[in-house]
Structure 1
Amino acid sequence: MDGTTSTADQYSRDMKDVDTVATTADVKGRLDEEKGRISFEVVDAEQALAPEADQPFTSALAFTCLVASIGSFQYGWHAGSTSIVMDVMRCSASDPNSSHTLSSCLNMNTDVWAFFNASFALGGLFGGIVASLFMGRMGRIQACHICNALFVIAALLLSIAPHPAVLTLGRFIAGIAAGAQSSIVPTYVAEISPPKWRGALGCSFGFQLSTGVLVAQLLSIVLNFRPGWRVLCGLTGVWAGVMSVGFLWCPEGPRYLVMSGKREEARRALMRLRGSDPVGVEGELQAIIRGIEAEQSGREDSKTLSLMGIMRSPVLRKPLFLAGMIHLAQQLSGINPIVGYAAQLFSRFMAPSTAMWLAVALTGCNNMGIVVSSTQMNRVGRRRFFLISVTGMAVSIGLVVMFAQLNKNAAATVLLLIAICFYALGLGPIPWLITSELFPATAIGSASSFAATVNWTFNFVLTYAFADMQNGMGNWSLLVFAGGLMVVGVVLGGTMPETTGRGVEEVVEGFKGGWGARGVKRL
């Protein structure tokens, strides 16, 4: 802290309009006349003035994060709501239950069901693409309101669908909303969270996603009859309404407000989230302002970077590649096909009633793993947890295949549960958390949208193809996920930086001399 103090003393004489105590970020700039560029160093506000021990976890912050995480709950709800009720939702054309206008089951063969199931991910792909447009033009909260309106429309279509085409359309619209919120919600949570709590609160997206799957599975067991599944499909409108009502008491993201020129609103938002600490709030606000101004220096065309702008940047294209690879790794784990077809996978070697509860246990393991990850994230670090997760899940899935081929069903079941625990440590929560830590505020919208698009694209491909993979390859199909994880793990092992405890500017600075894994060392 001596270097920070001396720098503050050096500049305090020139800062007449800003109280010295309230200045929490020191920005040092110099003009390199030969190269015609400005380089800068930003000392993170929270580190310069307020130690992490003094960063409060307020009730307003907890409430805001809880409301925002309902968006990921809805994602999980749709991901987990069809596995158990599959057999009561579909029937053959000759079944008398399928002949009514509001029939208790719909005529769907295996191919139609596979496309219906995957249409959620296809919608998510489109939602991920438009998410940055929503966030940049109307803010995080208003964008979530639009997504919730789409969830309500989807709930109506799903619950009263007279034909599989209408049912698929409803799931596709739900996917659009979930895809957009999978980019918007992690960005919003990262903006409102102080560094000390960013890791734990960032994991809330993965935890609530898994909770959504768990609650949907439990209610699926209760509503596993005709036409109980229609009630299950309609409930998503309730969660959307609760989220929108809750947002009435939540502030907009401070970084978005600063970028929109609403500095006074940003100050009020921080006061609401941080409690009665005007000195700390003013310092954090000044750090946000200076960081954004530094990123915007030399750029007169717009306030935010487009995806093409990021790709043209020699520095930012590197974290863009990493964000895509990290989200690709999550899908190569096979988590969505495994969860989506969990009851069918287990029913191959046990009674259907037991298989349903094992599918629930699978999700329960995911929740417990995320709790461990969120409480230890700042101690262990994002990079280490993620690489442990990738390696552990790849090995566990490989062993699942081996024991399944040997007809050791109990061992295969236990190993699949262990694989999900490894997934929860890093592959589950970290992709949604780390994207906001790799990019400056001016690039986060486009970068998050790109990462979500990668995630949903492979979600759709793998979910749609998994039924055919199972029919053609049997248990060997799981080796595709194990092999994919190992390849991605090797790539990320040499390129993924450690972001724990570091400001965005420092992480980005590490990419200027090479890849972040070398440029940004552990503390």
Structure 2
Amino acid sequence: MGFAIGSYCLGALAGCLIAGSLQNKYGRIKALLLSSIIYILGSIVLGLTFHQVQFIIGRVIIGFACGLGGVVAPTYLGEIATIQGRGILGTFHQLFLVIGLLLSNLIGLAWSTPPGWRLVMAFNGVPALIQCFFLTQVVESPRYLVSQKRIKEAQRSLQILRGPEKSVSVQEELDDMILLLLGKRVSVDENKDYIDTLSVTSPITEGIPPAVQRGDSTATLQSDPTTVIPPGPSHNTKKQTFRNSQESYGFLTLLRSECRGLALIGVMIHFFQQATGISGLVYYSTSFLGDTFGPGNSKYITVGVSICNLLATICAIFLINRVDRKILLMASLSGIAASAMLLVIGAYAGIGNLVAVAVFLYVITFAIGMGPIPWLLLSEFLPTYALSSASSAATGVNWTFNFLIGLLFPSLAKAMGNSTFILFGGFCLLGVVFVWIFVPETRGRSIEQVMAEKGILPRSPTTSS
């Protein structure tokens, strides 16, 4: 039973590991379309299941689609959003996850017994079919197009996203993307995609050397190789090399690059998301709530938990642009730790109402911070050429621990009872310390600003992978 549940996460792990290369090679929209097609295939396999092995295979296929979409969708949302709207748009990813969770619980109430469960499994394909249609109406990510040096397409895509050309100018935003991703200023004309400007004498801003950021003087940008030479009294000033390629970082390259510190922060945040124990709570809530309220009532409490999760996620949409990301993360982790302790106390004292309250608080505090924010952060502080590999790595860690918790939670619960949640509470307290020390604030700030604060220049690594 534990492996059948966890097999979904194994498929998701495989999907997220390949997602980075797929979205870099074929683009965000085509990768999402592939994810939808795989969802439909998996739903057919599950709906027609006649053996346990086929059921597990169907779970793996659905998981693969989820892992693929789980990397590409947040990446796409982060790349198309404005700085002001990035938080709200990114939170919609988590919002629709919890809507799906609630919907599956409601469907399960009516169709959980044979042969209705086949309809529950087959229903996976319905949202995928809807997405296949709407993806044909969606523009590609401008940042991805710039990284591929398809500048005119990027300009058209950005204009569609931001509004009519008569009322909204996208040139400045496009220039910033080009400078960060290609390391050069370019201009578009009607006859070809772009023209390299061999030198720039105007100040270059965020994400560029500190002396230039402060406006001390101007910088010269040379196109081949692309370098920025900070001005100074001596001609021996060390050159700062900028990245001059549309090639994205592979995993090994990322670990040797200037972005490895930020990427590792993103990976750790995804680890702490699963270390909260939320997967165990979701997967097995009906089982352990049944010990307190009886198996006949526990499934209704589980639906109530999903409704609470949805309402809390909606609240997070209103908080995300009003409260710093770090504050929300630390408040969320602290609240989960406190909820875990209340759950353990209620279980051992035999206070059923306290257990129910603790479960609801667990979900609420998770939803306001640790639910949506980990999916936002990487796209808020990493440039496009480092984002895909970092997202794959972070999501891979997420799904690995999701699988381990789904697999081991029954054994832990059997050995430790509800004391298992003391372990998760301890991880949450460690997460508070980690966020306080290492995680940069990204609310209302551009990628270039966050990188500049960390002293990171967009440059090529010495080796490639």
TM-score by length of 2: 0.83
CA shift for structure 1 position 262: 1.6
- Tell me which residue corresponds to 2:389: 446
- Tell me which residue corresponds to 1:510: 453
Superposed counterparts of 1:186-201, under 5 Å: 186-201=74-89
Q: What does the per-residue CA deviation read over 1:464-495, in whole Å, with 9 as the maximum and x for residues that have no partner?
A: 10111111111111112111111222122211
Superposed counterparts of 1:187-226, under 5 Å: 187-226=75-114
Residue 352 of structure 2 corresponds to residue 463 of structure 1: no
Q: SS of the counterpart of 1:203?
A: helix
Which of 239, 250, 260 is the aligned partner of 1:306?
Answer: 250
Q: What does the per-residue CA deviation read over 1:57-83, in whole Å, with 9 as the maximum and x for residues that have no partner?
A: xxxxxxxxxxxxxxxxxxxxxxxxxxx
Distance 2:89 2:307 in 1: 19
CA shift for structure 1 position 512: 2.4
Which letter maps to 1:175? G
Q: SS of the counterpart of 2:247?
A: coil
- Tell me which residue corresponds to 2:462: none
Asked whether the 8 Å contact 2:326–2:435 carries over to 1, the reply is no
- Tell me which residue corresponds to 2:323: 380
Asked whether the 8 Å contact 1:318–1:511 carries over to 2, the reply is no
CA shift for structure 1 position 302: 5.5
Residue 316 of structure 2 corresponds to residue 391 of structure 1: no
User: 1:300 and 1:507, CA in 2 relative to 1: closer, same or farther beyond 3 A?
Assistant: closer
Which of 156, 176, 187 is the aligned partner of 1:287?
Answer: 176
Distance 2:432 2:10 in 1: 26
Distance 1:124 1:353 in 2: 32
CA shift for structure 1 position 301: 6.5
Which letter maps to 2:438? T
Which letter maps to 1:471? K
Distance 2:4 2:446 in 1: 42
Superposed counterparts of 1:350-369, under 5 Å: 350-369=293-312
Distance 2:149 2:433 in 1: 43
Q: What does the per-residue CA deviation read over 1:238-270, in whole Å, with 9 as the maximum and x for residues that have no partner?
A: 111110111111101111111112222112212
CA shift for structure 1 position 511: 2.1
Where in structure 1 are there 5+ consecutive unaligned residues? 1-112, 514-523
Distance 1:440 1:267 in 2: 18
- Tell me which residue corresponds to 1:416: 359
- Tell me which residue corresponds to 2:29: 141
- Tell me which residue corresponds to 1:161: 49
Distance 2:276 2:55 in 1: 28
Distance 2:126 2:370 in 1: 29
Asked whether the 8 Å contact 2:181–2:385 carries over to 1, the reply is yes
Asked whether the 8 Å contact 2:329–2:435 carries over to 1, the reply is no
CA shift for structure 1 position 436: 0.6
Distance 1:277 1:359 in 2: 49
CA shift for structure 1 position 199: 0.4
CA shift for structure 1 position 307: 1.9
Distance 2:292 2:335 in 1: 25
| Aligned-residue RMSD, C-alpha | 1.5
Q: What does the per-residue CA deviation read over 1:432-459, in whole Å, with 9 as the maximum and x for residues that have no partner?
A: 0111112112111111111101100100
Distance 2:368 2:50 in 1: 41
Distance 1:261 1:283 in 2: 17
Which letter maps to 2:392? S
CA shift for structure 1 position 300: 5.4
Which of 319, 327, 331 is the aligned partner of 2:262?
Answer: 319
Distance 1:361 1:325 in 2: 31
Asked whether the 8 Å contact 2:74–2:90 carries over to 1, the reply is yes
Which letter maps to 1:282? Q
Identity %, equivalent residues? 31
Which of 118, 128, 153 is the aligned partner of 2:16?
Answer: 128
CA shift for structure 1 position 497: 1.1
User: 1:275 and 1:299, CA in 2 relative to 1: closer, same or farther beyond 3 A?
Assistant: closer
Distance 1:391 1:212 in 2: 27
Q: SS of the counterpart of 2:452?
A: helix
More displaced 10-residue stretch of structure 1: 123-132 or 268-277? 268-277
- Tell me which residue corresponds to 1:486: 429
- Tell me which residue corresponds to 1:152: 40
Which letter maps to 1:289? I
Residue 123 of structure 2 corresponds to residue 180 of structure 1: no
Residue 291 of structure 2 corresponds to residue 403 of structure 1: no
Q: What does the per-residue CA deviation read over 1:307-344, in whole Å, with 9 as the maximum and x for residues that have no partner?
A: 2222112x422111211110011101111111111111
- Tell me which residue corresponds to 1:36: none
Which letter maps to 1:142? K
Distance 1:299 1:332 in 2: 36
Which letter maps to 1:478? F
User: 1:381 and 1:239, CA in 2 relative to 1: closer, same or farther beyond 3 A?
Assistant: same
Distance 1:268 1:221 in 2: 47
Distance 1:511 1:312 in 2: 16
Asked whether the 8 Å contact 2:142–2:154 carries over to 1, the reply is yes
Runs (4+) of structure 1 exceeding 6 A deviation are none
Distance 2:311 2:289 in 1: 21
